[in-house]
Chains A and B, each alone.
Chain A
């Protein structure tokens, strides 16, 4: 097949190029950039803005080294991702090219990266718990198959360690790792962890390192999620690890600025919410097929930053990591109600009672700082708070089964309170307060 070529690039900017006129390229279709003299392939690019006067492209490998002489070859198809079972155990870049130095993959098929919305009627209501062995998750914020949930954490928190710990215990057929803007040590850490846990043969890694081409980072979630979706369509339960979506959002912000879009908050484009939602909404339990669960990482300075704020409205809760602990107050699994009614009878009530007492304890803690927590009950609350942080909010330790974790909850309550102080019903007290 002879592909049409264009010879005149009129504008080269950061990550973007333009040509004059309209060469007949369609929206979101891919073109290849070639060295003028040697025809050597330099990069691929995608048409993002077309008028009869000019056409603008996002360049996957960045624009360094491109000139007005660079040739453009049209491919007349939108960006697709190669799919093959042979991808398991291998490592790729943001547009799905082999990145581990291993042999090229012969793909079984090309899958669309458009991430069309799954028809909601084909979604199953999620009802299967994913146990992690972490009490703060299993007891207080149970994770559910097909959930989309990020870890919110400051940049120096061990969020990648937590992500990797959850992944290691996860009951998934396929793990897709999607890393954007990673530091090399983070990339290396995940690779080591996945190898050590014996999961590497069911893992595909898509990695974009900090400093790599921005457009490749921008595309990475779409490529990774499209491959994940193909596995799910084939009946597999897929776990996707997305880290760090703040890096991704920052690339989105940069590219929007290169395109002169009007920023809304802190320079992010007004479409930030929709763009994040488009990716996270890929998580689904699909009728007659498999499922996709997404656990992400979102680094933040403040919860009010646009990225965590928008993410919170999109995802089904969040795990909040602070000072190395999973904090109860700000963590939430929106799907826990789907599964925690079928566990032990004390599960829901003790969760509520302990949370309510912890909120009181936080108040007492603040009062204590000004010397106002001087009554006996406040003192009880303060001791309870310490116990709770040490024994419930610690995510890194030996995995513990749900019922044992619930027993641990009762032990903590008994150490500090009288039965009526817990707000738990008499029936439960009679059954469990031994």
Chain B
């Protein structure tokens, strides 16, 4: 990157919403950040385009998006180009933090003002906090980008202090002893091949649009226990996988995201609250802080960090918020941790791009989205993945908010194309309050064997599918004309749907189901699917038998639902397959 010595400046010549143009005479770098002076405050901007100046052959025009409200900006205002692209500060202290979309810590900002007024800034990470540094290299060792030179404990994690990724084969000139240091102190000096010395600190900045490399990229293979039954049974996701989660409003995306936040087994959860309701992010960092991490018993917030560019915050910073969150995820993946990134919602991110391209006067694609939106979405999801070399993974689960709930719109389509998994939320299921409203018949997953075998999964699916078909038949020709055996199959499907696929996210016991319990449930489900049950008794009319079948299944379902909410010990859990067995044999059993 071109580092000119003197400050490079320009002057504003056009202002419209968050988009400005500046005339410059020196040099401007595509993608670099700039500071714009408005009412004595400096606002951050990013260069989007560079063009010649039709009025002055000596000058150029830089088009920029500004990340803050420009009220009060005037023609002629000074623009200072920084030479640096938009970047994120990586180091210990990331976890438990809550930032805006540009990594300004929100709690620190609230000390200045209850409202986010333009021009407010604060250090991304606490610069005074001391960390116990333990070196892991010695003077004379050769290190490259991504190598650890030491560690500090960060909560329960061992945070590796990495050499920034752009260095190659540097010699350690000096390194400090085991000591408490803050992120601004130099802990080591390394010398590169050109004999230039560089200070290494606990934290360093990295450009958000330059993906942090993998050590050795691998195909995601191990399934995450999300605690959500319909996902773990039918649409599992792997460590390092990608999922798009579209749904019309009110279909339960938020509740599902919150469940994943709480129960997904991962070392780190990053939330990019991108263009959505502020209240939902607040619920996460205020209420979830009091909840326990399922795997460690620690406060849930200790494994989380949140980037909040909520819906009323400046739109231009929305795009940045997702890239910043991705970069933090990649950083922890490189340290060997499993990271789940929840981005809510990628549609708002795409809309931010749409607003911008509209202002720039680009030729619009479908629904006025930029023509290249599918490529941009693919590029974003591609940054997720598993790393064999470090043992870490970054899983990317993005919600999609399709206009009108129509999955044919450009962002949903591009997301389906970009991701390995797809959890489609159904309006009909949500209307019937069947939650989570992931349609068991409208999902995809690239994972084959997970907690249950592929064959078992398919049998489950087939039963649900057939039951759905019979349901439609009943609605069109009436129950009377449906053969008894079909009606029993329908009741089986109904039972699997009601007792297994549906889950109460607000119930202490029912909200999360772990793999050991999934196996028990699967045993019961498979028994039920394989069974042939004799309901008919001598002399009974068809209609009477059907009433009997319904009553029997109603009883079973009520019992099973109770079991979902109460059975905790392994003995209590083991009762389920036995009960189903008794049900199949039509033995008397106590409810």
Contacts and interface: CB of A to CB of B under 8 A. Distances in A.
18 contacts: A28-B72, A50-B14, A51-B14, A117-B310, A117-B312, A119-B114, A120-B308, A270-B355, A274-B355, A281-B277, A282-B312, A284-B278, A313-B276, A355-B433, A359-B433, A376-B543, A376-B547, A425-B561
Given A120-B106, A309-B404, A375 B543 contact: yes
A304 B276 CA distance: 19
Contacts of B498: 423
A281 B283 CA distance: 15
Given A262-B358, A269-B358, A304-B406, 18 more contacts: A27-B70, A28-B72, A29-B72, A51-B15, A117-B278, A120-B98, A121-B106, A121-B107, A264-B354, A264-B367, A271-B315, A277-B311, A278-B312, A282-B312, A284-B278, A341-B506, A356-B434, A372-B476
A337 B506 contact: yes
Contact of B72 (A78, A119, A122): A78
B155 interface: no
A27 B312 CA distance: 19
A116 B117 contact: yes
Nearest to A127: B287
Interface stretch (B166-174, B550-558, B579-587): B550-558
B590 to A, nearest CB: 11
Contacts of A378: 479
Contacts of B126: none
Given A118-B115, A270-B368, A312-B249, A281 B72 contact: no
Interface of B: 13-16, 21, 69-75, 98, 106-107, 109-110, 113-117, 248-250, 254, 275-279, 281-283, 285-287, 308, 310-313, 315, 348, 351, 354-355, 358-359, 361, 364, 367-368, 401, 403-406, 431-434, 474-480, 498, 504, 506, 543, 546-547, 550-551, 554-555, 557-558, 561-562, 565, 591
Contact of A281 (B278, B554, B591): B278
Given A118-B115, A329-B431, A337-B506, A316 B279 contact: yes
A125 interface: yes
Given A116-B117, A329-B431, A334-B254, A28 B106 contact: no
Contact of A270 (B248, B354, B547): B354
A221 interface: no
Contacts of B107: 121
B75 A50 contact: yes
A260 B491 CA distance: 58
Contacts of A335: 279
Nearest to B250: A332
Contacts of B562: 425-427
Nearest to B315: A274
A108 interface: no
Interface in A301-345: 303-304, 306, 309-310, 312-314, 316-318, 329-330, 332, 334-335, 337, 341
Given A118-B114, A119-B109, A27 B475 contact: no
Interface string A344-360: 00001000100110011
Contact of B475 (A26, A50, A265, A366): A366
A421 interface: yes
Interface in A383-425: 418, 420-421, 423-425
Nearest to A287: B114
Contacts of A29: 71-72
A238 to B, nearest CB: 16
A370 interface: yes
A123 interface: yes
B312 A375 contact: no
A330 B551 CA distance: 30
A119 B116 contact: yes
B314 to A, nearest CB: 8
B312 A115 contact: yes
Contact of B478 (A51, A124, A269, A375): A375
Contacts of B565: 425
A118 B277 CA distance: 12
A374 B15 contact: no
A109 interface: no
Among A50, A332, A425, the one with the most B-chain Cβ atoms within 10 Å of its Cβ is: A50
B475 A367 contact: yes
B479 A375 contact: yes
The 10 closest A-B pairs by CB, nearest first: A359-B432, A277-B311, A304-B404, A312-B249, A281-B312, A372-B478, A264-B368, A51-B14, A375-B479, A116-B115
A114 interface: yes
Interface in A270-289: 270-271, 273-274, 277-278, 281-282, 284, 286, 289
Contacts of B117: 116
A314 B478 contact: no
B151 to A, nearest CB: 30
B278 A123 contact: yes
A374 B478 contact: yes
B507 to A, nearest CB: 9
A414 to B, nearest CB: 16
B532 to A, nearest CB: 23
Nearest to A334: B254
Contacts of B315: 271, 274
A119 B113 contact: yes
Contacts of A310: 403
B301 to A, nearest CB: 13
Contacts of B475: 363, 366-367, 372
Contacts of A26: 71-74
A211 interface: no
Nearest to B21: A51
A125 B506 contact: no
A118 B71 CA distance: 17
A264 B359 CA distance: 12
B351 A421 contact: no
A27 B433 CA distance: 48
A304 B479 contact: no
Among B281, B354, B406, B555, the one with the most A-chain Cβ atoms within 10 Å of its Cβ is: B354
B506 A265 contact: no
A289 B351 CA distance: 34
Interface in A6-64: 22, 24-29, 48-52
Contacts of B21: 51
B479 A316 contact: no
A169 interface: no
A119 B403 contact: no
Contact of A426 (B13, B98, B543, B558): B558
A374 B368 contact: no
A352 B477 contact: no
Contacts of B368: 262-265, 270
Nearest to B429: A359
A197 interface: no
A235 interface: no
A367 B561 CA distance: 28
Contact of A375 (B115, B401, B546): B546
B478 A373 contact: yes
Among A28, A52, A115, the one with the most B-chain Cβ atoms within 10 Å of its Cβ is: A52
A273 B69 contact: no
A52 B74 CA distance: 10
Contacts of A309: 249, 403-405
B226 to A, nearest CB: 20
Given A121-B110, A126-B279, A281-B278, A27 B551 contact: no
A95 B203 CA distance: 49
Contacts of B98: 120-121
